[in-house]
């Protein structure tokens, strides 16, 4: 996933948050009756920001500000998370 190609897209989360995992480390998200995923905290955080209103660029900027890191430090990891969420059909772009 290339940042310049997706920076203006507005990802929309698919599915619904059900609960935290039994060990409290992950987040359970249900896409359909037969598709349930356990997301790591960072993946859940990114997924939750995908509201169909914010662009990828805005999501990256928001996370960089909240994490007190530069945009350059968070851009590639966030793109990797978005790519995995898309492959799992947890977001549409």
Strands 27-32 and 35-39, by their bridges, are antiparallel
Start-to-end C-alpha separation, the chain: 12
**pLDDT number for residue 24:** 83
* pLDDT tier, 22 (very low <50, low <70, confident <90, very high otherwise): confident
For 36-78, the pLDDT digits (tens) are 999 999 999 999 999 999 999 999 999 999 999 999 999 999 9
Where exactly are the structural domains of the chain? 3-14+41-92
Has this prediction a pTM greater than 0.75?
A: yes
């Amino acid at each position: 996933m290339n940042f310049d190609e997706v920076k203006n897209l507005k990802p929309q989360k698919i599915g619904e948050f059900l609960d935290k995992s039994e060990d409290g480390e992950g987040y359970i998200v249900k896409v359909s009756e037969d598709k349930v995923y356990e997301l790591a905290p960072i993946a859940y955080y990114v997924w939750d920001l995908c509201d169909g209103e914010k662009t990828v660029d805005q999501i990256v900027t928001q996370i960089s500000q909240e994490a007190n890191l530069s945009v350059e430090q968070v851009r590639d990891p966030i793109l990797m998370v978005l790519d995995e969420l898309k492959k799992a059909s947890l977001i549409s772009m």
